[in-house]
Structure 1
Amino acid sequence: MLQGLSHSAQGAKSWPFEQARALLARILRLRLSDAERDLAATLIGAGKADEAVATLEPLQRSVIFETGYGPSGLPHVGTFGEVARTTMVRTAFRALTNDAIPTRLIAFSDDMDGMRKVPPGLPNQEMLQEDLEKSLSVVRDPFGTHESFAAHNNARLRAFLDGFGFDYEFMSSTDAYRSGRFDATLLVALERFDAIQKIMLPTLGEERRATYSPFLPVSPRTGKVLQVPTLERHVDRGTIVFADEDGERVEVPVTGGHVKMQWKPDWALRWVALGVDYEMAGKDLIDSVKVSSQVCKVLGGTPPEGFNYELFLDEGGQKISKTKGNGFSMEEWLRYATPESLAYYMFQSPKSAKRLHFDVAPKATDEYLQQLESFNRKKAEGANEPQIDNPVWHVHRGDPPVEGAAISFALMLNLVSAANASTKEILWGFISRYIPGATPSDHPLLDRLAGYAINYYEDFVKPAKTFRAPTDQERAAIGDLAARLRALPADADAEAIQNEVFEAGKAGGFEPLRAWFTALYEVLLGQSQGPRFGSFVAIFGVERTLELIDKALAGDLVAG
């Protein structure tokens, strides 16, 4: 699906393409001479990226994308967001270069980091307390299912990423240090110890400066990752000397997993050792990115391209925190809405702070469905240019599905509410009448929406549902609407029904007309907003709607 898009991608305006163009400029700048760069830019701009790659050997090396993960806890919505957004940039880069320059996405687990505190809520708290300060890859698994706490969480991370179909390579910090993958860069760090300290010490408080070292030695005696000063350095031997917990001076090599770097120098170490070309980070890490970028240059590397995305906020505007448990978790989103809608929400304005609260899921779902419908409609109409700026192109990595949904999520929610549906089977009784011959097997997206709508209704709508009696003006207008519905032909469609709803509101003297629709939702459905009312009546059925109106006017809904 990405072949043949490079020319169209040149003019794409969505943010992943902006990032992809900056990344391509980096690759050309760092890998090629001036003459080679001009040649490559000309060929790629003309849609001949494959020719550029075949001609210029440096372009045959993979472009490395990276996302980082701390395995002290389980994957969460921030993990999803970072991998999803990075994948969107990767997809845009592939389209920009006609998929000719190879790419890799590394999902890096910082599992050699020491466990500084016991995460609350886990089993075997005493056992974990005993393992404090040890690498997460050494800390025993409190769940008893894996060889370590990190192995348990890493397995969850990989299952999580696999469940969303991400294309990535998993990499463990412990494996990278112990295997020697980082050795050459660690020896450079040892040689340039003073230059690293010159960057790091001004960023620290006075007390921390007195003991800070970029190297965290692993105690040969206890296995703990120690935050102690470096007493001696021996560049010729590739070693450092430190005081172990018992005061004994110990000399260890900085290679082979005997030390781990502090996290900001460690970030720079990864960029250099792995040749990372692109990594994004949250706005809270802006200063950390700057510091790590300075260390990266000291180590002889060039900091990767990337950008700082805004953080998610809870209902009160506070930053979402795993520790606080505020906001709307990824597990909750996936109980009430599709994974695609979550990816769509991640795509939208990543540099703007957004609330992640339960009421955004239905809206994001319907916006996603509208964009998918627009994509497929324009595709069917034979649009000249590929719709690579449509969010669903990015959500589905360049290959959106053909299937959409003829019923919005908001409408499905109101159908659940009006029908008091507790199962998908009840909903399908209405859906199959609205879409003749439709079944869950041939409309799987609708079937999924039905399940999500039931969950959302039960947890959020039903507890807050409050019917009210109509005012005299509303009672007269609703009675007029009932008469209009009875006069409609049996085959009246949603548009014809909506016209009568409008006419009843106008005849009732509602100004603005929005007040009429609010009255319908509050009196008939027990909530302040809802979908297009004509569509609701079309799927719920005119006769059932009339029964609902009769109950409302009789006061039965308020009494119930």
Structure 2
Amino acid sequence: MSSSPENIIGKGTWIDKIAYTIIEREKKLGRSTANIKVESGLGASGIPHIGSMGDAVRAYGISLALKNLGYSSELIAFSDDLDGLRKVPAGLPKWLENHICKPVSTIPDPYGDCHDSYGQHMSSLLLEGLDSAGIKYTFRSGTQTYKSGILTEQTHKILLNSKLIGDKIAESTGQQKYLKFLPYFPICEKCSRLYVANSIDYLENERAVTYSCTGNTIGKKLIQGCGHSGQVKIDSGNGKLAWKVEFAARWQAFDIKFEAFGKDIMDSVRINDWISDEVLKFSHPLHAKYEMFLDKGGKKISKSAGNVLTPQMWLKYGSPESLLLLLYKRISGTRHVGIDDIPLLMDEYDLFEDIFYGKISEPNDSKRLKMNGVYEYINHLRPAADDSSSIHIPYRILIQQANLFNNQIQDSELLLNAIFDRLKKYRLVKAEDIKKKDLINKITLATSWVREFSDSTGGEGEAEGGRADEKVEMSSIQKEVISEIGNQLSSLASNVAKKRDNSKTPDEDLAQEVQTIIFNNAKGNNLQPKEIFKLLYKILINTEKGPRLGNYIVDLGIDNVVKVIEKRI
């Protein structure tokens, strides 16, 4: 059933619904909608991962939706590079232990001298990912924000109300720390560390905090202070607000109207909302809660745990569009994500594109509307007028072809030409398509995948295109037929190998024998041959159609194909 046009907001996605809610809320609050700012916080204490990028990408999508609805909007990407290093992330040098609790903007770059500091290096990795995906943003450094005095007035008001805030934090979360100390972390002028220097009093007239470097518990570990006592002015940049109060200060200072958050910081967001409303008298931004990305083992993707999937890792094997599809499809629900999702998302993006341009029909109006909307956001609301330049070849086909030639051809250009010649043989491309940049890029990504994940046997494991052991859904009779086809193909390969010394079966004859095995097994079990061919395409290349199957199976190597069939049924 079609949705009535009047019920459709913007492009019909979750992104548009949030943007519309922001606009209506701002109007109700009586605030200006001249430039609606949204924010994303960038952690700078560890290697940025897909989840970190997801926060910024989704905020950018909402900024785009606001523009689509007729409003000026801007994404503020705030890097907390004045944060202290609480723990050395897995894989980084041990000498960083000497810098625990120091602001990451003052710690040397652990990767050499390519950046001025640890914090700048980590921030740049995420910004690089955003740039690669075409995300537009205004960057704000926490260190520079504090040094320039942008948060001074907010810090002043918060510290004047520190007793009220400490009581509220204790009441809401049970945390007693801010009943004793101020929610402000000075940088000790003697040992240059945050967190270990505890704020004691706020000197209102001097706008300064007194402190004593007596130590603190960081991640269940007691970190000793140096014993120094001193004071720091709040406009000096030599200290920062605690997370429990800093969000609110940023929201007012930057006039933020939307920021999403993960459920792991829900308590902090709740306290910051109250501070924003009651202490700073700035109605807190609209929020959207998102679930965390988990690795394939079900563990939270974490900088310190070392199971980080970075934007750079993804973009080594997948297109920016495939990454944006992962992040824009939905905001709610926990998702397990890994490198082996890339082939599926590469092909899914092609499906979205085909539906958008009408090459594939989607009968469900609501589903088609949402898919088309997501496609437009992936393309920054500027999709091409047509898809004449696009060539959709299943990613698994490219991986399989790259895998066949990988051990034989080391030169990248020769490998590209060999794969392209095969695609021409299968009539998937025309001679002039070799000039198309998108196709070259896609083949290059598949080649990178194979060179990273292929094993020496050529054809097993991840090199088959990701999730090689994922089962294909089929009925019991279909499974029996596919299994028997696998057995007969194995026998065929064995017989051909025995005859190799005396005679050589032409590939075309061998391909016809493969076609016959498939056809006869389908007919012999009262099944339509096209039904079984579709299943085999699904098993081999994760789509329902492709090159002539007999030729393709011979080219891949019948033994290799049998192994894939065994894994996937």
Q: TM-score range by the shorter chain?
A: 0.7 to 0.9
Aligned to 1:441: 435
Q: CA deviation at 1:375?
A: 1.2
1:185 aligns with 2:150: no
Q: Any residues of structure 2 matched to 1:313-332 within 5 Å, and which?
A: 313-326=294-307, 328-332=309-313
- Whether the aligned pair in 2 keeps the contact of 1:510 and 1:516 (CA below 8 Å) is no
Which structure is richer in relative contact order (CA contacts within 8 A, separation 6 or more)? 2
Q: Report SS of the residue matched to 2:120.
A: helix
Instruction: Go from structure 1 to structure 2 and tell me whether the alpha carbon gap of 1:536 and 1:264 turns closer, same or farther (over 3 Å shift).
Output: farther
Amino acid at match of 1:263: W
Q: Any residues of structure 2 matched to 1:329-368 within 5 Å, and which?
A: 329-368=310-349
Q: C-alpha deviations, 1:460-514, integer Å up to 9, x for none? A: 68343799x97489639999xx99x97999xxxxxxxx99998545313176979
Instruction: Go from structure 1 to structure 2 and tell me whether the alpha carbon gap of 1:499 and 1:190 turns closer, same or farther (over 3 Å shift).
Output: same
Aligned to 1:89: 62
Q: Report SS of the residue matched to 2:435.
A: coil
Amino acid at match of 1:425: N
Q: CA deviation at 1:234?
A: 2.9
Q: Any residues of structure 2 matched to 1:390-539 within 5 Å, and which?
A: 390=372, 391-401=374-384, 402=387, 403-416=389-402, 423-433=415-425, 434=427, 435-442=429-436, 444-458=437-451, 459=453, 462-464=459-461, 471=484, 475=488, 504-509=520-525, 516=532, 528-532=539-543, 535-537=546-548
Instruction: Go from structure 1 to structure 2 and tell me whether the alpha carbon gap of 1:223 and 1:471 turns closer, same or farther (over 3 Å shift).
Output: closer
Structure 2 unaligned runs (5+)? 214-224, 410-414, 470-481, 493-504
Aligned to 2:89: 119
**Residue from 99, 102, 116 that aligns with 1:131:** 99
Identity fraction in percent: 23
Distance 1:302 1:336 in 2: 43
Task: Identify the range of structure 1 (512-521 vs 419-428) with the bigger mean alpha-carbon deviation.
Answer: 512-521
Aligned to 1:279: 259
- Whether the aligned pair in 2 keeps the contact of 1:477 and 1:504 (CA below 8 Å) is no
Q: CA deviation at 1:320?
A: 2.0
Distance 2:543 2:166 in 1: 63
Q: Please report the TM-score for the alignment, with normalisation by the length of structure 1.
A: 0.76
Aligned to 1:52: none
Instruction: Go from structure 1 to structure 2 and tell me whether the alpha carbon gap of 1:205 and 1:27 turns closer, same or farther (over 3 Å shift).
Output: closer
Distance 2:26 2:404 in 1: 57
Task: Identify the range of structure 1 (252-261 vs 359-368) with the bigger mean alpha-carbon deviation.
Answer: 252-261
- Whether the aligned pair in 1 keeps the contact of 2:486 and 2:562 (CA below 8 Å) is no
Distance 2:129 2:555 in 1: 46
Q: Please report the TM-score for the alignment, with normalisation by the length of structure 2.
A: 0.75
- Whether the aligned pair in 1 keeps the contact of 2:79 and 2:123 (CA below 8 Å) is yes
Q: Report SS of the residue matched to 1:318.
A: coil
Aligned to 2:33: 59
Amino acid at match of 2:398: M
Q: Report SS of the residue matched to 1:119.
A: coil
Q: Report SS of the residue matched to 2:210.
A: strand
- Whether the aligned pair in 1 keeps the contact of 2:534 and 2:544 (CA below 8 Å) is no
Aligned to 2:47: 74
Instruction: Go from structure 1 to structure 2 and tell me whether the alpha carbon gap of 1:543 and 1:344 turns closer, same or farther (over 3 Å shift).
Output: closer
Q: CA deviation at 1:20?
A: 0.5
Q: CA deviation at 1:102?
A: 2.0
Amino acid at match of 1:363: L
Amino acid at match of 1:438: E
Amino acid at match of 1:507: K
Q: Any residues of structure 2 matched to 1:155-304 within 5 Å, and which?
A: 155-202=124-171, 208=177, 211-244=180-213, 247=227, 249-297=229-277, 298-304=279-285
Q: How many residues were matched structurally?
A: 498
Instruction: Go from structure 1 to structure 2 and tell me whether the alpha carbon gap of 1:340 and 1:533 turns closer, same or farther (over 3 Å shift).
Output: closer
Q: CA deviation at 1:80?
A: 1.8
Q: CA deviation at 1:68?
A: 0.6
Aligned to 2:479: none
Distance 1:359 1:102 in 2: 38
Amino acid at match of 2:435: S
Q: CA deviation at 1:223?
A: 2.8
Q: Report SS of the residue matched to 2:155.
A: helix
Q: Report SS of the residue matched to 2:33.
A: helix
- Whether the aligned pair in 2 keeps the contact of 1:114 and 1:133 (CA below 8 Å) is yes
Distance 2:489 2:97 in 1: 70
Q: CA deviation at 1:170?
A: 0.9
Instruction: Go from structure 1 to structure 2 and tell me whether the alpha carbon gap of 1:349 and 1:161 turns closer, same or farther (over 3 Å shift).
Output: closer
Distance 1:76 1:548 in 2: 35
Q: CA deviation at 1:355?
A: 1.5
Distance 1:392 1:273 in 2: 34
Distance 2:542 2:371 in 1: 27
